[in-house]
C-alpha cells in the first residue's frame, strides 16, 4: 500500500485518525484541510461548548487525555488541544496541507455506465480496484491557485456539522432583509473569539432559533452574559430530549440504552431467529424502561411544556437528544431564557413574528442555531451527477454506506465520520482501523448486491425504531453490534470484556479496542 496515493479530505476527528492508521501501515497520505488548524468543528467551538459524552469515551484508544485535564466534559478549547496533540504525537501534522480546500472530485479512467454495472465493488472488491480508475481532486489554496491532485483512493472526512449552514427560507418580504437588526448563523458565532462573542450579545435582545446543541449553548451563553434584564428568546419548532445527564436516581441509564444487554431488547440488522425471538419476548421490558425514562426526564420539561412528542428511546435511536448545558433549566426558571414554540416564523423590522404573526419577539440579534446541510456538502464535492444522486440517498432512505464507511456504488472512496453515535470520535477511530485493514489487503468486500442488502437491513432498523428521524443514521443504540461487525471483518475477537456480566452490562469504550490488532 505504500506505493499507492491516498488523499484525505478534512483534518478533523476522523481525518486525523485515518491518517494515523495509514501511516502505521506504510502509506503516507495527503490530508487537505481548508482551515489553518486541525480539529474540524472543535477548532472554532464557542467557549461555552463542552463535550456531550464523558472524556473517557471521547478519546482515541491509544492516546489518553493528559492528566492535567480532569473535567468529565472538557471545554471545546481543551478538545481542540487534545486533537492537536494527537496529530503531533503520531506525525499526522506533517501530512496536512493547511489552507487547501477540495473544491471538486472526479472519478476518471472508467465510464460511469461501467461503474454502475459492476457486481463487485471497484470492479474486484479490493480497495484500489483494477488500476484503471483514479480520483482527480481540484484543490484551491488560500491565494486562489488551483491544482489537480490524483489519488488511487480518497477518504472523505468532511463531517456533518460544519461548512454549509442550514438557513431557513422565507417568502419575499418576510426574511432577514427587512429586519433592522443583525442576523447570523451559529457557524459565524463559533468563529468569533470569546471576547467578541460577549461584545456581540452584551446588553442585546438576542433571539436564538433552534433547540439543538449549538442553539442551547449559545442561548445559555447569552443568559450568562445578560441575565433576566435582557433574556434570550429561543424559537423552537421541534422539541428534543434535553436531559441533565444520563443518570436517573443515581443509576447510569446507559445500562438500559447503550450496552449489549440493551441491544438484546431490540431487533438488529441481520440478526438470527433466536435473537429476533428474544427481542420480541423482551419488548415489554423495553417499553417499561422507555416509560420510566420519559417520566423521569420529563419532570423539568413539563414545567416549560417542552416534552417531545416522541419517546426517549426513539430520541436515542435517532440521536435527537442532548445533554443540557449546566444551568439550562435554572436559566429557564429564572427567566434568563424564554422558550417560544412555533412551527414557523418570519421577520419584521423590529424582530421575529411567530406562527400566525400574532406574537412579536423584539430582537436586536437573531442567531440561527438550525444546524448544517451535511448532505448537501458531501454531494457538492462530486462533479458527477450520478455520484451526487446516490452518495447520501434521499429523504425517503437512510444513508447508503456499508459499515457506515463505503458506498457500494462509488469505487476507491470511503466516507468516515458521517454517522452519529454516543461518541463520534470513538466510532470514527474504529471505522478508520477497519478501513486501513481493508486498504492494506486484510479482507475483501462482499459483492455490491450483498452490501446493498446489508444497508437496507440497517435502514429497516432505523425506520422501525426512529420514525420520522430515520434518515439521520445514528448507530448509538447498536454501537456494540456495529463494532462486532467491524471486528469480525478484521478477524478480531468481538467480545472484549472479562466475564458475561461485564459483557452484558458494562459500557464499551475506546479502551476496549486499544489492543485491537487485525489478523
Query: Quick one: pLDDT band at residue 319, thresholds 50, 70, 90?
Result: confident
Neighbours of 307 (CB within 10 A): 17
Mean pLDDT value across residues 463-479: 79
Mean pLDDT value across residues 72-100: 95
Tell me how far the alpha carbon of residue 138 is from its chain's centroid: 26
Residue 349 has pLDDT above 80, yes or no: yes
Contact 7, 154 (CB under 8 A): yes
Grid coordinates given for 391: 452518495
pLDDT above 70 covers what percent of the chain? 97
> Residue 37 gets which letter from DSSP?
S
Grid coordinates given for 174: 418576510
> Residue 228 gets which letter from DSSP?
T
**Residue 349: Cβ-neighbour burial (10 angstroms; 0-12, 13-18, 19+):** exposed
Query: Quick one: pLDDT band at residue 282, thresholds 50, 70, 90?
Result: very high
For residue 336, the SS3 value is coil
Confidence (pLDDT) at 469 = 65
**Residue 188: Cβ-neighbour burial (10 angstroms; 0-12, 13-18, 19+):** middle
Grid coordinates given for 291: 416509560
For residue 149, the SS3 value is strand
**Residue 404: Cβ-neighbour burial (10 angstroms; 0-12, 13-18, 19+):** buried
Interacting residues of 173 by C-beta distance below 8 A, sequence separation 6+: none
For residue 406, the SS3 value is strand
Q: What angle do CA 262, 263, 265 make, to 5 degrees?
A: 75
Question: What are the beta bridge partners of residue 138?
Answer: 104, 148
Question: What are the beta bridge partners of residue 348?
Answer: 351
Q: What angle do CA 360, 361, 367 make, to 5 degrees?
A: 135
Query: Quick one: pLDDT band at residue 317, thresholds 50, 70, 90?
Result: confident
Q: What is the distance between the alpha carbons of residues 201 and 189, in angstroms, rounded to a whole number? A: 10
Q: Between residues 128 and 394, which one has the greater pLDDT?
A: 128
Contact 361, 355 (CB under 8 A): no
Neighbours of 33 (CB within 10 A): 25
Q: What average pLDDT does the chain have?
A: 92
Amino acid at each position: 500500500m505504500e506505493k499507492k496515493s491516498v488523499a484525505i479530505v478534512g483534518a478533523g476527528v476522523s481525518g486525523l485518525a485515518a491518517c494515523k492508521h495509514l501511516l502505521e501501515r506504510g502509506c503516507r497520505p495527503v490530508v487537505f484541510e481548508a482551515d489553518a488548524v486541525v480539529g474540524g468543528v472543535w477548532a472554532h467551538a464557542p467557549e461555552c461548548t463542552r463535550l456531550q459524552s464523558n472524556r473517557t469515551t471521547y478519546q482515541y484508544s491509544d492516546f489518553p487525555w493528559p492528566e492535567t485535564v480532569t473535567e468529565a466534559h472538557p471545554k471545546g478549547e481543551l478538545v481542540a488541544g487534545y486533537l492537536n496533540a494527537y496529530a503531533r504525537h503520531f506525525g499526522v501534522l506533517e501530512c496536512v496541507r493547511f489552507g487547501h480546500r477540495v473544491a471538486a472530485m472526479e472519478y476518471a479512467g472508467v465510464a460511469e455506465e461501467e461503474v454502475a454495472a459492476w457486481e463487485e465493488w471497484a470492479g474486484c472488491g479490493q480497495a484500489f480496484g483494477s488500476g484503471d480508475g483514479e480520483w482527480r481532486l481540484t484543490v484551491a489554496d488560500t491565494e486562489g491557485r488551483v491544482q489537480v491532485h490524483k489519488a488511487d483512493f480518497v477518504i472523505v472526512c468532511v463531517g456533518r456539522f460544519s461548512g454549509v449552514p442550514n438557513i431557513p427560507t422565507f417568502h419575499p418580504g418576510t426574511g432577514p432583509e427587512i429586519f433592522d437588526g443583525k442576523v447570523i448563523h451559529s457557524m459565524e458565532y463559533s468563529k468569533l473569539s470569546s471576547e467578541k462573542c460577549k461584545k456581540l450579545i452584551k446588553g442585546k435582545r438576542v433571539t436564538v432559533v433552534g433547540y439543538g446543541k449549538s442553539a442551547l449553548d449559545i442561548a445559555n451563553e447569552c443568559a450568562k452574559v445578560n441575565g433576566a434584564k435582557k433574556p434570550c428568546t429561543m424559537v423552537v419548532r421541534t422539541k428534543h430530549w434535553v436531559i441533565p445527564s444520563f443518570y436517573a436516581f443515581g443509576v447510569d441509564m446507559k445500562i438500559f440504552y447503550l450496552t449489549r444487554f440493551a441491544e438484546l431488547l431490540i431487533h438488529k440488522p441481520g440478526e438470527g431467529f433466536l435473537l429476533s425471538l428474544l427481542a420480541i419476548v423482551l419488548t415489554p421490558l423495553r417499553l417499561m424502561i422507555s416509560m420510566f425514562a420519559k417520566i423521569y426526564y420529563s419532570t423539568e420539561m413539563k414545567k416549560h411544556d417542552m416534552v417531545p412528542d416522541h419517546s426517549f428511546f426513539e430520541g436515542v435511536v435517532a440521536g435527537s437528544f442532548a445533554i443540557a448545558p449546566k444551568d439550562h433549566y435554572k436559566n429557564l426558571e429564572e427567566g434568563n431564557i424564554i422558550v417560544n414554540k412555533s412551527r414557523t416564523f418570519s421577520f419584521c423590522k423590529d424582530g421575529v413574528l411567530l406562527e400566525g404573526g400574532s406574537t412579536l419577539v423584539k430582537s436586536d440579534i437573531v442567531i440561527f442555531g438550525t444546524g448544517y446541510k451535511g448532505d448537501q456538502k458531501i454531494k457538492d464535492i462530486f462533479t458527477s451527477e450520478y455520484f451526487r444522486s446516490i452518495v447520501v440517498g434521499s429523504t425517503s432512505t437512510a444513508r447508503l454506506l456499508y459499515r457506515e464507511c463505503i458506498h457500494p456504488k462509488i469505487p476507491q472512496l470511503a466516507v468516515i465520520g458521517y454517522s452519529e453515535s454516543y461518541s463520534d470520535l470513538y466510532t470514527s477511530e474504529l471505522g478508520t482501523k477497519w478501513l486501513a485493514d481493508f486498504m492494506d489487503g486484510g479482507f475483501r468486500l462482499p459483492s455490491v448486491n450483498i452490501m446493498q442488502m446489508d444497508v437496507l437491513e440497517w435502514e429497516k432498523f432505523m425506520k422501525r425504531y426512529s420514525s420520522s428521524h430515520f434518515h439521520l443514521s445514528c448507530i448509538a443504540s447498536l454501537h456494540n453490534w456495529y463494532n462486532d461487525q467491524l471486528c469480525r471483518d478484521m478477524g478480531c475477537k468481538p467480545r472484549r470484556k472479562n466475564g458475561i456480566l461485564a459483557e452484558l452490562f458494562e459500557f464499551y469504550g475506546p479502551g476496549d479496542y486499544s489492543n485491537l490488532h487485525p489478523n
